[in-house]
Amino acid sequence: MHSGLPTIHGFEHLSRIPLYVPGKPIQEVQREMGLTRIVKLASNENPWGPTEAVKARVAAAIAGSDTEGLNLYPVSDGHYLRKAIAARKGVALGCVVLGNGSSELLELVAKAAFLDGGSSVIPRHSFAIYGIATQTAGGRVIESKASATELDVDDVLRSVGKDTRLVYLGHPNNPTGIRLEQAALERLVRQLREDIVLVVDQAYAEYEDPADYPDAAAYLGERPNLLVLHTFSKIHALAALRMGYGLGSKELLGCIERVRSPFNTNHLAQVAAEVAVQDLAFEAFSRQKNAEARASFDLEATRHRCQVSGTSGNFVLLESAFPAKDLFKELLRRGVIVRPMTAYGLPNHVRVTYGKPEEMQAFWSAIGPLLDGGC
């Protein structure tokens, strides 16, 4: 395996599991490129928050009181945050579980499902953690068909095998920015074998108009094996604190509880998220800013004759004639971090997060001369 390290018996299979490559941190690019001003559009973070109310609550928690302080363990099951989420979502307290980011919940459900092996079905071009979570838990990935612009529910249903325990669906999907319409989602929920857990990852759901978005949580009552995931890292602007939540039946969450480590979410994240989840005005503000960023990106893309895809989420896929890795490197040299999608089977696409207007301006100033009049 690693040069210089003795081979550890049983670890050989780890080399078959892809490594997750996160967006490059700002400090790393500053160090490597010797630049001071960096624009990061690589990890789908929300540049507009968190709010002052959230920051004040975290500061109070750090200052401490009779009931809280950094010397105390957090509430293990996040009771108070779960209560706030349950009230917001109109579900019972027992139907909410917290994770150290929704990534941890993607892993915990796999850990519960693959204790004695099995497979998950994952559409092509899905969020990398679905496959990694499956494989690190001892499961096998079955990839169903999908393109950069279309999800294929029928192929998901066809791909299910005898030993399939999970189906993962990004809704909307990262990096393609596409999602199912209500009828297709309903077909998946109703036609998928009942003993398979359907994991619907709604990390970007809040960026959609609630009136138009087909929320998988509507099916929680009719499908006990449904897990709907949300995160505080995106529209709630709390990526640094690591907090996500899952909605599901008490039976399903009871199974996840057996593989969740105690104190998996920390106190600062719990109190920050408790304020954030009740702040509908900040959500609406961020949604509006995102819609504005999308509209001006589309205009610039047309001007540069660039192909863009994806209509959901706080990011866009940009296709160009350049290999994504080269475009990524050239942009890095100019102080702009995007995400090459090579590892997602999209060798000519980069994913760009919508930033503030001045950040998007910096992006177009950096990429414009590279495109030389066209993608």
Ligand X SMILES: Cc1ncc(COP(=O)(O)O)c(C=O)c1O
Residues of this chain that bind ligand X (CB under 6 A): 44, 101-103, 127, 170, 174, 201, 203, 231, 233, 239, 244
| Residue 326 Cβ vs ligand X, minimum distance, rounded to whole Å | 24
Q: Are 70 and 64 in contact (CB under 8 A)?
A: yes
- In this chain, which residue has its C-beta nearest to ligand X? 101
* Paired residues of 341 in beta bridges: none
| Residue 242 Cβ vs ligand X, minimum distance, rounded to whole Å | 7
Among residues 238 and 375, whose Cβ is nearest to ligand X? Answer: 238
Question: Which tokens sit at 323?
Answer: 């290999």
Among residues 68 and 177, whose Cβ is nearest to ligand X? Answer: 177
| Residue 127 Cβ vs ligand X, minimum distance, rounded to whole Å | 4
| Residue 103 Cβ vs ligand X, minimum distance, rounded to whole Å | 3
Distance CA 205, CA 224 (A): 21
Encoded amino acid at 194, one letter? E
| Residue 7 Cβ vs ligand X, minimum distance, rounded to whole Å | 32
Among residues 101 and 131, whose Cβ is nearest to ligand X? Answer: 101
| Residue 149 Cβ vs ligand X, minimum distance, rounded to whole Å | 17
| Residue 199 Cβ vs ligand X, minimum distance, rounded to whole Å | 10
Among residues 201 and 215, whose Cβ is nearest to ligand X? Answer: 201
Distance CA 35, CA 33 (A): 5
Distance CA 316, CA 294 (A): 8
Reduce the DSSP state of residue 108 to 3 states and report it.
helix
Among residues 203 and 360, whose Cβ is nearest to ligand X? Answer: 203
Among residues 239 and 370, whose Cβ is nearest to ligand X? Answer: 239
Task: Please report the beta strands in the chain, taking only residues with DSSP state E, as ranges in sequence order.
Answer: 39-40, 96-99, 119-123, 140-144, 164-170, 197-201, 226-231, 244-247, 307-309, 315-319, 336-337, 339-340, 349-353
Rg over alpha carbons for the chain, rounded to the nearest Å, is 21
DSSP letters spanning 265-327: S-HHHHHHHHHHTT-HHHHHHHHHHHHHHHHHHHHHHHHTT-EEE--SSSEEEEE-SS-HHHH
| Residue 204 Cβ vs ligand X, minimum distance, rounded to whole Å | 7
Phi, psi of 198 (to 5 degrees): -95, 115
Distance CA 117, CA 154 (A): 25
Q: Are 250 and 92 in contact (CB under 8 A)?
A: yes
Give the list of residues 6+ apart from residue 187 with CB closer than 8 angstroms, or none: 153, 157
| Residue 198 Cβ vs ligand X, minimum distance, rounded to whole Å | 15
Among residues 42 and 375, whose Cβ is nearest to ligand X? Answer: 42
Among residues 340 and 375, whose Cβ is nearest to ligand X? Answer: 340
Among residues 47 and 170, whose Cβ is nearest to ligand X? Answer: 170
